[in-house]
Structure 1
Amino acid sequence: MNTQLPNIRHLSAEELGAWFEKAGEKKFRLKQVEEWLWQKHAHSFEAMTNLSKELRNRLSSSFSLPALRVDATQYSADGTVKSRFKTYDDHLVEGVLIPTEDRKTACVSSQIGCSLSCKFCATGYMDRKRNLGFDEIYDQVVLINQQSEKVYEQKLTNIVFMGMGEPLLNYSNVMKAIEKISSEDGLFMSPKRITVSTAGVAKQIKKLGDDKVRFKLALSLHAANDEKRNQIMPINESNNIKVLIEALNYFYKQTGNEITLEYILFKDLNDGEKDAEELVKIYRQVPADLVNIIEYNPIDAFKFTKPDEDSIQHFMQVLESNRVNARLRRSRGKDIDAACGQLANKESIPA
């Protein structure tokens, strides 16, 4: 494939329409090509079988059609499916299908690697190679949806941007991908079934509000005071908790959309009664619908471990006694390194 040619999926409908008009093709041909690109998920012009051979040749000599492809797949004992995808330029990125009885959720990545260096996250130890294009993000969802239909005979019900990378540092591509996923000529999934998770980029959280987005927002909080959050999330030094609370309130005022606080428990770091009480104080300052308490999934590079069950239950009791809507989220896919914080393309991590 000649990737020096313009990527056909990066052209607007107007630009592509102008090409068809100049080529002397009827308007319905444009509609056919767009269906192949976004609904039938063709990964080559040759696959567009209702077009003439001549038109397919002209398209292939004028445009490129790079697409994500599945490079490897792992199946967990609990039904989770992790896929390693390869990009047109041979980078690797991971995505996960998370099945429950009533949901089939795609956990997708937004960047190849990450620049935020959160200490508990395997991706944080990788260099950020580049952002994923909106079409590559879209491809992840399409491929995971195909897996869901094949393995579970059900389409995806939900999408979470909780894979590799920080979605709000790839703002434009993530927004375009969600627009295409939720459009009638894409996958037609309601934005209310999509959640974007951020480590806390306050400026971009406010931009989401200004853009009146319709999807849900999750904040990866993981510590309830700045001193502890600084230790595990360097981004907190420039986006502290006070600033994030202000940004979340602004987002909610502009959109009214659901907000979730994510909080991973680490033994002897953020799992004490005082930590729980500080989390209650934050909860009361933010219009959050839910606090997700998450089991820590160990990675080799991080010294902390998961608390014992008694500590976890006591932490939950403190939250519940203070009327915090909290849920303990048990991790899935741990046996294939597909759980929260474990996505890393292990062969790509520098020694």
Structure 2
Amino acid sequence: MVLANKISCIFAAVIKTNKIIDIRSLSLEQLKEKLVEMGEKGFRAKQIYEWLWQKSITDFDQMTNLSKELRDTLKANFQINYVQVKQSQISSDKTIKSSFVLYDGNIIEGVLIPAPERMTACVSSQVGCSLTCKFCATGYMDRKRNLNADEIYDQVVLIAKQAQENYNIPLSNIVYMGMGEPLLNYANMMKSIERITAEDGLNMAAKRITVSTAGIAKMIKKLGDDQVRFNLALSLHAANDQKRNEIMPINEQNSLKALAEALRYYYSKTKNAVTFEYIVFHNFNDEIQDAKELADFCKHIPCKVNIIEYNPIALADFVNAEADKIDAFAEYLRSRGIVTNVRRSRGKDIDAACGQLAIKEKTN
């Protein structure tokens, strides 16, 4: 029995030692160390990194400035867990929704949102979501796992390619507003942005990236400690704890008071204004009293408000507020000196609009 256990442990150790590594999970320094361990030249790491991130290749044989021997060594020790487009749909307003297949067969969704002044990629950060927001289709799914940094990165690359191929316009903005809660996948979210903004990555300006959160106070403070340069948006939808608890259970552990404290801390560290996202639901949070509560919450830090049109889903009974209620709501906020924009939904006819992502694919 003892001998059998020893053999089992040795076998497990061999498997662990010989485990094929996702090469893009390594930093440049880690890759350099691995190459030296394998008897290769350390400077090759920079060449490999350029192929992986700048050129987004999916096969080691595409690294044409490396010897065949080195490519074979890479294939024996590493793999590239790239993301592929499974299906795409184009909305009547030219929005493109895509389902993406991950290396393990899981599926996520991302959206290209074209507008006259910008071309935006909306990307996912998790497979499913654990936050159970009552108005969001993704909230009714189970969270299967976090996305790796390279899986988030690949969504941007593939959506950028769609922008060029379909509209001949380069991608200008990225929003982490797809499936999942980015701040519950903090390390991978941060690494993906580091690669997106790096000179040897996509070289995109951090100010063109917005991370949206349902509101995890301690992680908002961590963003402040890390002095992030990208934009932060908070999905608020009610500035009243009782109402917010009803539609966003996350508020029960992250009250408005806790969020206000976290946001003040974040602003003290970054000096970045915050965007509050607010869906105006019919007969729920669409009265002037609700607008007053929101205006009072806005006093905590420099901010603006985006009022978002609600996109109905089959699993919930919420309805978008009437147009005159939305207009009155927005005008009240403006009268209080708050920059307020009313955002119209894009891609509703293909379930690509905000809150509708739930892997419902096109059928013939």
* TM-score normalised to structure 2 length: 0.92
Name the residue aligned to 1:185: 200
Q: What is the match of residue 217 of structure 1?
A: 232
**Letter of the aligned partner of 2:80 in structure 1?**
L
Deviation at 1:79, TM superposition (A): 1.2
User: Which whole-Å CA distance do the structure 2 matches of 1:317 and 1:30 have between them?
Assistant: 56
Question: Could you tell me which residue of structure 2 aligns to residue 267 of structure 1?
Answer: 282
Contact 2:307–2:343 at 8 Å: present in 1 too? yes
Alignment check: 8 A CA contact 2:28 2:46 kept = no
Residue 102 of structure 1 deviates from its aligned partner by 1.4
Using the TM superposition, give the Cα deviation of residue 4 of structure 1 relative to its aligned residue in structure 2, in angstroms: 4.5
Any unmatched runs of 5+ in structure 1? Answer: none
Report the aligned-residue RMSD: 1.3
Q: What are the superposed Cα offsets for residues 31-75 of structure 1, whole Å, 9 maximum, x if unpaired?
A: 221111001111111222222222211111111111111111110
2:190 counterpart of 1:199: no
Structure 1 residues 191-214: Cα deviation after superposition (integer angstroms, max 9, x where no partner): 111111100000000010011111
Equivalent residues in 2 for 1:1-351 (5 A)?
Answer: 4-288=19-303, 290-346=304-360
Please tell me the residue identity of whatever aligns with 1:46: D
Count of matched residue positions in the alignment of Structure 1 and Structure 2: 344
Q: After the TM superposition, which parts of structure 1 deviate over 3 Å for at least 4 consecutive aligned residues?
A: 22-28
Give per-residue Cα distances to partners, 1:247-272, cap 9 Å, x unaligned. Answer: 11110010011310000011000011
Distance 1:191 1:91 in 2: 29
Q: Which amino acid is 1:265 matched to?
A: V
Between the aligned partners of 1:258 and 1:74, the Cα distance in structure 2 is: 35
CA distance 1:321–1:19, shift in 2 (3 Å)? closer
The TM-score normalised by the length of structure 1 is: 0.95
- Say whether the 8 Å CA contact 2:100–2:109 is kept in structure 1: yes
Taking the aligned partners of 2:224 and 2:37, their CA distance within structure 1 comes to 40
| Identity over aligned pairs, percent | 60
Secondary structure class of the residue paired with 1:187:
coil
| 1:211-246 deviation per Cα after TM superposition (whole angstroms, max 9, x unaligned) | 111111000000110011011000000101111111
Gaps of 5+ in 2: 1-17
Counterparts of 2:56 and 2:86, CA distance in 1: 17
